[in-house]
Amino acid sequence: MIRLNQYTEIAEPKDPAPDFPKYTFSLTPISELNQYIGNQGAFLDVIEKITAVSNAATLETSSGTIKLRRIIHLVHHSENMIELSLFGPRAQEFDGDTVYEVGRKSHVIAIFVGTSMKQYKGSPPFLSGTATCRWYVNENDVTEIRDFYKRLPIQAEPVKKLHLKNHEEIQRQIETKSLLELREINPFDHAGLKFECTTVIIQVAQNQYWCYPACTACGSRSIFDGGKYHCSKDGCTGTSIEHRYKVCLIASDTTWQLRFMLFQDRAMQLIGKSVEKLLTTYRKSDTPPEISALVGQKFTFIVRVLPEKKLIDHDPMFEVLNIKKIFGKQFQIPDVKIERKPASSTTSTSEEHNLPPLVPICPKAWENKSTSSSSQQIYNIDDSQIELTGILQDKTARKALDMKNEEQLQDTHEKEHLSQRAKRSFYIASRHT
């Protein structure tokens, strides 16, 4: 890889060397690609067999822009498959139709240069091909392609055609819901599904930071320990961070109130300032006025339900994936009366009012039947008999305590006996099996 800066000068040679290479690459085995996930400075070259290719379809990125994308499936000799996504002009320049037609009867081998390894949350890692990406397909004068071809079977499996949905198709499939309907969404059954809702921001969630230290390699939260940051994601060894937005907003329509989370790109789109710039003036525990200004604004969001890590919240939380429409400041904020019922209650309010009052039942006083006659006589004793009565009561109490201890000891022996029988039964059963 050649790095250019503001001091780099590029001049076209008048007499190029005759042995100047036509192809330049440094191949990385498919088994070593994962170590480069999130490494923006690593451009990777791979040689693989193309097994599937899609159409070039429009895609809406996380920043809200629309661009082309094409998917290609690459397989090595070991049958390990890696997906390559070509974006922008590269998706259009790749001749997918010809690759599909040639691949119906013969092998298609390609070297892709200038790719990078990426991974989105909840998705497998993939190769990304943007402006730096180029490719050499079935070039017979490339030694590496000829050697790769010789190790393939004579009979080639046809290249498959994949259908990639356009942005317009995906938008038509997104269901519009009210906040009350979104409240009934199951975070487990509807994970990954997108929904559209129109709502007004009524509050910035209290007692929550509006940003977090993110690992520059993978974007996960980093934890400060031992004098430096450590990525909380398993397998990631990143130690450098950048602060990113994580703004929790409470929004409402005329049906319900729910929490919506704005992460880095969506928050930047609405706030207009970077996290680092706000941190120069405000603390993470403060709410900057740039964020407070969102209160009262009306939006149409494309959202998805966030996975529940703790099942203690009454309503699900949603991540804002896209801001479809901005209506501006509203003069009137929807006022929704939230009435929550205890989770364990299955009786309606009207039925509860018709119930008769409960009758308290107190425990009975303990009475020793063997001394009931003497106990009744205690009420007729005079002062001279108090001492004798105390002795009799003490003896009665000790006798009751001895009887209780004897019952507990007998119960313990019975449990030990049953435990031994159970162990024996398990042992005999295991021997027969």
Give yes or no: residues 159 and 290 share one domain: no
372 domain residue, yes or no:
no
21 domain residue, yes or no:
no
What is the extent of the structural domain holding 135? 30-167
Q: Which of 59-73, 275-289, 335-349, 359-373 is least confident?
A: 335-349
Q: Which of 64-73, 124-133, 175-184 is least confident?
A: 64-73
**Boundary of a domain, candidates 167, 191, 212:** 167
Contact present, 83 and 74 (Cβ < 8 Å): yes
301 domain residue, yes or no:
yes
CA-CA distance, 138 to 148, in Å (whole number)? 10
User: What stretches of 175-226 show up as alpha helix (H) in DSSP?
Assistant: 179-183
Nearest partner of 129 among 44, 38, 219, judged by Cα: 44
Give yes or no: residues 157 and 94 share one domain: yes
Place of tokens 């966030």: 306
Cα distances (angstroms) measured from residue 73 to each of 101, 126, 405: 16, 10, 76
Question: Helix or strand or coil: residue 135?
Answer: strand
Give yes or no: residues 158 and 90 share one domain: yes
Give yes or no: residues 143 and 194 share one domain: no
**Boundary of a domain, candidates 329, 359, 390:** 329
275 domain residue, yes or no:
yes
CATH of the domain at 208: 2.40.50.140
In the structure, what pLDDT confidence band is assigned to residue 373 with cuts at 50, 70 and 90? very low
- Report whether pLDDT(375) > 50: no
Number of separate domains in the chain = 2
Per-residue confidence (pLDDT) for residue 172, from 0 to 100: 77
384 domain residue, yes or no:
no
Residue 171: enclosing H or E segment and its boundaries?
A: helix 167-173
- The neighbour count for residue 87, using CB atoms within 10 Å, is 18
Give yes or no: residues 213 and 292 share one domain: yes
Give yes or no: residues 45 and 72 share one domain: yes
Per-residue confidence (pLDDT) for residue 16, from 0 to 100: 77
Provide, rounded to the nearest whole percent, the portion of the chain with pLDDT above 70. Answer: 76
Give yes or no: residues 104 and 232 share one domain: no
Give yes or no: residues 59 and 197 share one domain: no
For the stretch 225-239, pLDDT in tens is 888 898 888 878 888
- The neighbour count for residue 324, using CB atoms within 10 Å, is 15
CA-CA distance, 333 to 64, in Å (whole number)? 27
- Report whether pLDDT(155) > 70: yes
Per-residue confidence (pLDDT) for residue 222, from 0 to 100: 92
In the structure, what pLDDT confidence band is assigned to residue 372 with cuts at 50, 70 and 90? very low
274 domain residue, yes or no:
yes
348 domain residue, yes or no:
no
Mean pLDDT of 215-219: 82
Give yes or no: residues 114 and 232 share one domain: no
Per-residue confidence (pLDDT) for residue 410, from 0 to 100: 56
Mean pLDDT of 322-327: 91
95 domain residue, yes or no:
yes
For the stretch 92-135, pLDDT in tens is 999 999 999 999 999 999 999 999 999 876 678 999 999 999 99
Give yes or no: residues 251 and 317 share one domain: yes
Nearest partner of 183 among 110, 259, 80, judged by Cα: 259
Nearest partner of 318 among 207, 416, 222, 185, judged by Cα: 185
Give yes or no: residues 159 and 178 share one domain: no
Give yes or no: residues 180 and 306 share one domain: yes
For the stretch 224-280, pLDDT in tens is 988 889 888 887 888 889 999 999 999 999 899 999 999 998 999 999 999 999 999
- For residues 412, 416, 418 and 419, what is the CA-based torsion angle, rounded to 10 degrees? 130
CA-CA distance, 113 to 43, in Å (whole number)? 8
For the stretch 273-318, pLDDT in tens is 999 999 999 999 999 999 999 999 999 999 999 886 555 557 899 9
> Rounded to the nearest 5°, which phi and psi values hold at 125?
-65, 155
**Boundary of a domain, candidates 284, 300, 329:** 329
Per-residue confidence (pLDDT) for residue 431, from 0 to 100: 42
> Rounded to the nearest 5°, which phi and psi values hold at 41?
-90, 0
Assessment of whether the complete model's pTM goes beyond 0.75? no
